[in-house]
Structure formats: C-alpha cells, structure tokens
Amino acid sequence: MNATAPQVVPYQVVLLFGPPGSGKGTWGKILNQIPGFYHFSTGEMFRMLDVDSDLGYRIIETMRRGELVPDEITFDLWQKHLHNATLIGRFHPPKDTLVLDGFPRTPRQAEMLNRVAEVKLILKLDCANRDILVERLHRRAILEARLDDANPSVIRRRFTVYDTDTEATLRNFSEGLVEAIDVAVPPVQILSAIGAALARRLA
C-alpha cells in the first residue's frame, strides 16, 4: 500500500427516496437552504445535459420512456458533478451533509455509493394513495414543461420501476436507517417529520 496516497473521505449522506411526485426535489431544495447541507438530484443532472451531444440525446430518450439510465453512466456523471461542486467550493465534504435525491435507484448504484459514502438516514417519502402523486405530476408537467410527467403511461411505468427497484436497492442498507414520511399531509407536517428525523440521526 502507498502510505502517501490520499485518503478517500467518505461523504456523509442523507438519501431521499420516493416515487415521482412525492416531493423529493422540493424537500431536497428546502434542505439545501440549511447551512451544512448540499442537495444533489441525478434527475436534474440529466435534465441539464446538452441534448445535442450523443450522450445527452441517449439519456433524454431513456428518461422520456420512463426507464433508468445505465448504472455506470449515472455513477460516473454523479461523481464528476460532485467533484466539480467540491472544486468550486459549493460542497465541502465531509463537513457538509450530502442530500441525495433520486440516487441510488438500483442495487448496483447502492453498492457503488456505499464505497464512497456513509449513509446516515434514508427518508422514504410516499403516500398510500398514489392518485395524489399523479395529480401533482400533471400540475408539474404544465408548470415546468417536464415531458416525463406529461404522459400517463410513462408515469405508470415510472411508478412500477420505482416500486421494483426501491425494494431491491434498500436491501443494501440497514433497515434501521429508514424513516417513512407521509407526503399526503400538509407541508408543515411533512417539514416537521423531516426535521425530527434529521435531528435524531444527525445530532
């Protein structure tokens, strides 16, 4: 072993899990306002890609179908973006808590994450009545021109992908890390549940 090799500093992480429309992005952005938290969304990372590039075009096409982007591409881009955020001083690991929204989404991604991160808490945002989420997605499709939210069959596909992959992905983490957050209640109650979970786990 090379004694002078730099030590890999693991990221301290809170994971946001949740089906489309559950508010991962909204709550991630709110947490990003708290000093010491840095929110990162892989969905947003992909939506910002240049569609004129070959890779960007292939990824946007995958998203349009409601399918997942391949694991290696996702992890690679994820690492590059976090590295850049660190270089430009937006993210300060390991001092800052990294709030991951939409990553990991597969067991393979979870394995890759576990190599570079210590997961402190998993917030599982969901509600018993998925019709509430479909309604939110319709509104978002109109307000934000999100193509993947506009098509009912793509929405159903994304729910199925989420349910199948989430269970398998969560098996890579201790069950005790998971806190379920009901997103059918008023926002202030969601905020309070998330705040309480963070205070318990990150204190």
Using CB under 6 A, list all residues that contact ligand AMP: 20, 42-43, 46, 62-63, 66-69, 74, 102-103, 105, 109, 148, 158
What does residue 136 show for φ and ψ, rounded to 5 degrees?
Answer: -65, -40
The residues near 50 (Cβ < 8 Å, ≥ 6 apart) are 56
Identity of the residue, 161 or 178, whose beta carbon is nearer to ligand AMP in the bound complex: 161
Identity of the residue, 93 or 102, whose beta carbon is nearer to ligand AMP in the bound complex: 102
Residue 56, SS3 per DSSP: helix
Minimum CB–partner distance for residue 144 and ligand AMP (Å)? 11
Cβ-proximal residue to ligand AMP, closest one: 43
Identity of the residue, 92 or 135, whose beta carbon is nearer to ligand AMP in the bound complex: 135
In Å, what is the CA distance from 36 to each residue of 13, 131, 188, 203? 12, 35, 22, 13
Going along the chain, which residue ranges are E strands? Answer: 11-17, 37-41, 97-101, 117-126, 178-182
Dmax of the chain from CA atoms?
56
Minimum CB–partner distance for residue 97 and ligand AMP (Å)? 19
Minimum CB–partner distance for residue 145 and ligand AMP (Å)? 14
Identity of the residue, 48 or 185, whose beta carbon is nearer to ligand AMP in the bound complex: 48
Minimum CB–partner distance for residue 195 and ligand AMP (Å)? 23
Identity of the residue, 48 or 189, whose beta carbon is nearer to ligand AMP in the bound complex: 48
Minimum CB–partner distance for residue 126 and ligand AMP (Å)? 14
CB 187 within 8 A of CB 20: no
In Å, what is the CA distance from 195 to each residue of 37, 179, 192? 13, 11, 5
Identity of the residue, 51 or 196, whose beta carbon is nearer to ligand AMP in the bound complex: 51
Minimum CB–partner distance for residue 68 and ligand AMP (Å)? 4
> How far apart (Å, rounded) are the C-alpha atoms in residues 142 and 134?
13
CB 158 within 8 A of CB 20: yes
